[in-house]
Amino acid sequence: MKIRFVHVGLVVAAALMLAIWMSAKMREARVAKALAEPVPVEATAASAGTTPDAAKRRSRQAFERMAREFLRDAPNMSPEIRMQRAQALAREVESLESGGELQADEAVLIRIGLIQAAVVDDTERARQAQAVVDHYKTQTERRKAAAAAQVQRDARLRQYKAREADIVAEVLAMSSYPGGLSRDEYLRLRLREAHAAIYGTPAQRPSLP
Burial 195-207 (b: 16+ CB within 10 A, else e): beebbeeeeebee
Residue-wise pLDDT for 27-57, tens only, equals 444 433 333 344 444 444 444 455 777 777 8
Residue-wise pLDDT for 123-164, tens only, equals 998 999 999 999 999 988 998 899 888 777 788 888 888 999
What lies within 8 Å, CB to CB, of 75 at 6+ separation is 5, 6, 9, 10
Indicate the pTM of the whole model: 0.51
Q: Give the Cα separation of 204 and 193 in Å (integer).
A: 14
- Residue 144 resides in a domain: no
- Residue 59 resides in a domain: yes
Q: 165 and 115: one domain?
A: no
Q: 134 and 154: one domain?
A: no
Number of independent structural domains in the chain: 2
